Structure 1
Amino acid sequence: MTNQKEITIAVASLFSQGVAKPLAAPGGIITISRNTFTKKVEAGNNAWIASMRDSSPTRVKSSRNHPSETEEKNSWIVNHPSALNMFEQIVSGSKGKQIVMFLDYDGTLSPIVEDPDRAFMTSEMREAVRDVARYFPTAIVTGRCRDKVYSFVRLAGLYYAGSHGMDIKGPSKSSRYRKGHQGVLFQPASEFLPMIDEVSKVLEERTKSIPGAKVENNKFCVSVHFRCVEEKMWATLVEQVRSILSDYPKLKLTQGRKVLEIRPTIKWDKGKALEFLLESLGYANSADVLPVYIGDDRTDEDAFKALRNRGQGLGILVSKVPKETNASYSLQEPSEASI
């Protein structure tokens, strides 16, 4: 597993050596018949199970052109070079620009663990994030409940975008990133709170018979963790989840790293959260800003895609194996991250 502490320390070094100056306030605050129906349900469940077997984002499939893992990885690296190996190029492109850091939590700031309630970051990791935030506006963008992630990170000078960006709050004790007396507070899915709470309770009851399944209410979305569920039980789990959601057409089912996620159908994701925060900071139309997003999950692809669409910024995927991604750079082995 990639050494996550070394990755973050490397990132802190990557963007602070030679290019960073103490931060000045940038201004701004921030779907017949029964048989046909059954076949469709089975086909849908099978598709989900196949997807669940893959890591997140989806791993690059081997082909005749890339018969070996080594050749496959080398080919992938050409298109997604190590952010550390490209240090000089990145530094050169960042000169004269305000860097804004966006960090996923699970798998990026903390290791992936079996019990999501114990995804703690180390004190060294916290210190590294604090160092990054000294120089650049920094946001934690996560699928977790904002309050839960704050209890893990415990740094007041950051922006926290929980529930995949549906619950955003800015620094409340620091005036470096804001103008006025209130930090950013944005909740585009507030009307879904009662529905999410209801679905969470139903899911908890329905999944009790599936050993290892864990339901986590993340306020504006519900996560069903299956990392500890035997694969032979995945079909049962998917069937239960999809059956419940059939009664809630305003909610949708998505997938992350060893987790099924129920979210509102609104057009909002980590990419939209990134855009919102840049606008709140006053950088929406600036040519002098360099957004940097680091993440490891399928849900982070929305943010990587947003950066590509802007034609501005760096997406960095944390992965030791080739995966389909919109990120431009990668961080893979601990040896590449140690400096």
Structure 2
Amino acid sequence: MAKPTVVVPEVGATAACPCPGTTLFPYPPPRAGIVTAAVRRKCLQVDLGAAAGLLGAGAWGVESMRASSPTHAKAAAALVDDDHRAAWMVRHPSALDKFDQIVGGVARASGSSCSSTYDGTLSPIVNDPDAAFMSETMRMAVRSVAKHFPTAIVSGRCRDKVFEFVKLAELYYAGSHGMDIKGPAKASSRHAKANKVHDRLVELTRSVPGAKVENNKFCVSVHFRCVDEKMWGELAETVKGVMREYPKLRLTQGRMVFEVRPTIKWDKGKALEFLLESLGFADCNNVLPVYIGDDRTDEDAFKVLRRRGQGVGILVSKHPKETTASYSLQEPAEVMEFLLRLVEWKRLSRASLRMQQ
């Protein structure tokens, strides 16, 4: 069974640890340009245990594709009455409205970390996945957060692709749903089976206009955002056919995308746990992780925070939907406002502390 390669820096004795425990990632991270002088890299093979069991490809069809479509989501949301929407907002209030409550938890903790997905959270959802560019103002906000808190981006995309969009060397990146993780140091790895599946899907989906196949190293994405709905059935059958050729892979679905992954117990929740452990936060009860995401695959991370009984999960969605997140934001613009308010709160807190000394 394939094991994901996680590249972590080997930290010298001078690296600060936020609390007792193993620190695989240093914080603050080394500045860009001095990485090679400060960090020696090594590859760590993480044993993820037994296979999770193949999800039947037959479970995915046109109905599940409709469920992931923003157009259909908006239509369904229009049927939600005001009372239901209000009740949902009571259960998942705006993280902006409850900002003081959230930072109150951060203030009681001795430290915090911030993790986020990319598409739909730090950048808008667009028809062409290669055009999901981050705005300069959002980049500045993320850079500012990373100066105060360990900050990671956990994405279903290839780690290198996310870095091309974000272009911030001081972050921690978890690509392919967390199967390819690294801190602020260069590294590369490749999963041969993903290449074969990618090439096969490219070949077979040529007959479906608008379909786009993306190689994410450890998993392969088939985007159908630009595919005519009349062709969804044909595309679903094509993907199922490829899945039958590779029975050791499993099929999952995100926002208008099929995702083919190795059959291992690894997801964004596992990636979040690994990052917290690597930062020395795994057994700390005085650290408050914050995770922001918009996709059903982010629910694994929200569940981790729920299970820990510690942390803040924030769902980015304009419409009520089932989630284990505690709070909500409507769109990337609100995410940016939340991040900037977090930075300003941290700045004022430090200034107040200095005045008291």
Q: TM-score range by the shorter chain?
A: 0.7 to 0.9
SS in 2 for 1:233: helix
Task: Note the alpha carbon deviations across 1:179-204, whole angstroms, 9 max, x for none.
Answer: xxxx9x798xx7xx111110100000
Contact 2:248/2:262 (8 A) holds in 1:
yes
Establish whether residue 325 from structure 1 lines up as the match of residue 323 from structure 2. Answer: yes
CA distance in 2, matches of 1:145, 1:199: 15
Equivalent AA in structure 2 for residue 128 of structure 1: A
* Shift, 1:55, TM fit: 3.3
* Shift, 1:248, TM fit: 0.8
Partner of 2:84: 72
Q: 1:62 to 1:200 in 2, by over 3 A?
A: closer
Runs ≥4 residues deviating over 3 A? 55-63, 333-339
Partner of 1:312: 310
Partner of 2:65: 52
SS in 2 for 1:95: helix
Contact 1:100/1:138 (8 A) holds in 2:
yes
SS in 1 for 2:252: strand
Q: 1:146 to 1:335 in 2, by over 3 A?
A: closer
Q: 1:296 to 1:249 in 2, by over 3 A?
A: same
SS in 2 for 1:305: helix
Instruction: Give the root-mean-square deviation of aligned CA atoms.
Output: 2.8
> 1:118 is matched with which residue: 131, 134, 154?
131
TM-score (norm 1): 0.78
SS in 1 for 2:152: strand
Partner of 1:127: 140
SS in 2 for 1:114: coil
Partner of 2:96: 84
Equivalent AA in structure 1 for residue 58 of structure 2: G
Partner of 2:150: 137
SS in 2 for 1:266: coil
Q: 1:118 to 1:274 in 2, by over 3 A?
A: same
CA distance in 1, matches of 2:74, 2:304: 21
Gaps of 5+ in 2: 1-15, 26-55, 342-357
Q: 1:56 to 1:68 in 2, by over 3 A?
A: closer
Contact 1:164/1:269 (8 A) holds in 2:
yes
* Shift, 1:99, TM fit: 1.0
SS in 1 for 2:103: helix
Task: Note the alpha carbon deviations across 1:210-241, whole angstroms, 9 max, x for none.
Answer: 00000000100000000000111111001000
TM-score (norm 2): 0.75
CA distance in 1, matches of 2:142, 2:129: 20
* Shift, 1:333, TM fit: 6.2
CA distance in 1, matches of 2:176, 2:332: 29
CA distance in 2, matches of 1:195, 1:94: 42
Partner of 1:204: 202
Contact 1:59/1:322 (8 A) holds in 2:
no
CA distance in 2, matches of 1:131, 1:336: 16
Partner of 1:221: 219
* Shift, 1:260, TM fit: 0.4
